[in-house]
Chain A
Amino acid sequence: MIDQRIFEDLQNKIDEESTVRDELHEIVQTLARRGRSTQAILSRAHSTPADQLKPVLDDVTTEILAQKQEVARLKAVADKHPFYKYNGLWTRELQNLVASIELCAWLGGLQEHKGPSSASFMTIEDVGKFLEIPVNLKEQDAFHLTIEEYLLALIAMVEELSRLAVNSVTLGDYTRPMQIGNFIKELFAGFQLLNLKNDILRKRSDGIKYSVKKVEDVVYDLSLRNLIPKGAPSA
């Protein structure tokens, strides 16, 4: 005898879950749309000389703040459910947002949100404070930014910066490739401290060394031709 209530209960659970997913999905979609517009503005940095970046960064900040609103909406809904059950729905978009925040901060925006760390990037705590979300929760089951998400965002920023090193030269800025080189080597050293397993973090962080090499090549080309200004940070 097969009790049909068993299957009715299952159907109810499936329906409940897809309602939750629909609701989260809608917010994540909005976050993604705004994220694309943030990235579009950020990419203007590749064609804007450093001394004219201010208006670009202001625009980016506006977009990032709009995304922050969506994160707040997302948090409100996600907090009603087990965090890791649905985390996969938004993790990508949250990573993209954090990468944009980091890049914007590195370029000189969002300075008031950088903490006292000696690092030249926003720490995970800085980012959490700025977005007003907790980070790295280990016991409390609530919405937060995970370490993995933060690290993946840093990797995305590194990739973007290695592209910027090349484009800076095109804009006639020979100092920035040195700064970028120093910075991503610092991060690279950090990533090398991690014991990574065969997961997404490992795969993505393997790419950092290529970014480092790309920037080193640029710096090499410049120094070979004596194009590096005096007083620039040495590579």
Chain B
Amino acid sequence: MTDTSPPTVLSIFENFRDELDEHHDRRERIIKKSRDITALSKKIIFALQRVRATNQPLPPKIAQENQVRFDQINALFEAVVPEQLGINSWRYQRQLSPGIQEFIEAVSFDHYLRTQTLISHAEVAARVPAQILVTEEDYLLGLFDLTGEMMRFAVLSLSSGNAAATKTDEAAVESESKAPTLAPSQGDIVVDLRAMRARFEGLSVPRRHNMLRDLAKKLEVMQASVEKVERAAYGILVRGSERPSGWTPDLSAAAEVESH
């Protein structure tokens, strides 16, 4: 307040009103952007679920489609930057967080399909404008959601008919016997999911501070996903040769992949 006359109650509250309006407007603009980012990220994930192989470049059509979406997301992030400068990055973190988590899910899934490795926090942060805050919490929760996508991907690809069909040399060497095995990339997903599960469970988060909201629920969903893949892999191995063509493993039970 720069005016020299002493403020009155009304002038004091008018000032508060302007400040609060500014805050609410900014908050809503960020929420909108966050929702748009979420929607685009979901589309990217859907497209990626149509991919059938890991550890190699994505099919050009899907890669192209998704690049357009990633560019759109980037533009949205750029538009959020001026709203989130300095002190405001944490102030509106909660509003942007759902979008960021979904984006991390998309980016990490994309990364996993192409390289079969987990994207690191630094790599995720490098995918958004530098001023956008990517918290470790969002990163971790995004990875939890990634396990759900990996589960869907694994189950769908196990059922797509190439299980035990193509074998690379290394797999062929050790499986002299005629026992059916999983194709390496499929076996790898099972191994990776199991490793992620073990790592997630190994994290110790102190209860007393209420950090990482709904961590318990995320853990549960993740565990269910891993088990589903394990069972699907088992099913393919044991009954693989008997299944009719066109058969898909049952995905209907507790398909609790998305949490929001």
Contact = CB atoms under 8 A, between A and B. Distances in A.
A232 to B, nearest CB: 21
A21 B169 CA distance: 53
Contact of A10 (B140, B206, B208): B140
B199 A4 contact: yes
B117 interface: yes
Contact of B17 (A148, A189, A193): A193
Given A14-B136, A21-B211, A118 B8 contact: yes
B253 interface: no
A165 B120 CA distance: 61
Interface residues of B, number: 45
B16 A147 contact: yes
Contacts of B86: 139-141
B13 A11 contact: no
A181 to B, nearest CB: 15
A140 B87 contact: yes
| A interface secondary structure, majority | helix
B218 to A, nearest CB: 14
Given A2-B196, A83-B90, A136-B19, A193 B10 contact: yes
A12 to B, nearest CB: 9
Contact of A196 (B20, B85, B91, B196): B20
A194 B199 contact: no
Given A14-B211, A125-B1, A138 B87 contact: yes
A13 B136 contact: yes
Interface string B1-31: 1000011111011101101110010000000
Contacts, number: 126
B202 interface: yes
Contacts of A115: 6
B205 interface: yes
B121 interface: yes
A58 interface: no
A11 B24 contact: no
A9 B90 contact: no
B216 to A, nearest CB: 15
Contacts of A191: 13
Given A25-B209, A193-B13, A11 B19 contact: no
Contacts of A14: 136, 203-206, 211-212
Interface of B: 1, 6-10, 12-14, 16-17, 19-21, 24, 85-87, 89-91, 93, 116-118, 120-121, 136, 139-140, 188, 192, 195-196, 199-200, 202-206, 208-209, 211-212
30 contacts: A1-B117, A2-B117, A3-B120, A4-B199, A6-B120, A7-B202, A10-B203, A13-B136, A14-B205, A17-B211, A18-B205, A18-B211, A21-B211, A22-B209, A84-B87, A85-B90, A117-B8, A119-B9, A123-B12, A125-B1, A136-B19, A138-B87, A139-B87, A140-B87, A141-B87, A190-B9, A190-B12, A194-B17, A194-B20, A201-B20
